[in-house]
Amino acid sequence: MKEAAHWRARHTGWIITSSAHSLKALMGAHMLDAVFLSPVFATVSHPDAKPLTPVRAAFVAAHAPVPVYALGGVTARNAALLAPAFSGIAAITALMS
């Protein structure tokens, strides 16, 4: 996220995002337009990654300085478990099939 200021200066019209995996990582996100927080749920693309869980992820999203999108194992079924602290969802497999 340190590079955000560099890219923002060079491309003022770009939407600049990053991914994060913890509250600590999100604290430096003030120069970004949004962050993808992952993995919220268990995911096939990263089977060894420990999911944050919807409760922990909602806590992180609620304390973020920018909009947060849930990523990682998000499906039509479990998206309903996400708190209003999220600005939306992002998915790979669930949206591509």
| Total domains present in the chain | 1
pLDDT in the model for residue 88: 95
Could you tell me the residue range of the domain that residue 12 belongs to?
4-96
The pTM of this model reads: 0.89
Separation between Cα atoms, residue 95 and residue 22, nearest integer Å: 24
Q: Are strands 17-20 and 88-89 parallel, antiparallel or unpaired?
A: unpaired
| Rounded average pLDDT per 10-residue block, the chain, 97 residues | 82 93 88 95 90 95 95 92 93 76
Scanning the structure block, which residue is given the tokens 């268990």?
A: 42
Tell me how far apart the 2 most distant CA atoms of the chain are, in Å.
Answer: 40
CATH number of the domain within which 61 lies: 3.20.20.70
CA atoms within 13 Å, Cβ hemisphere of 31: 12
pLDDT in the model for residue 91: 87
Listing DSSP states for 39-92 in one string gives -SS--SSSTTSPP--HHHHHHHHHT-SS-EEE-SS--TTGGGGS-TTSSEE--S
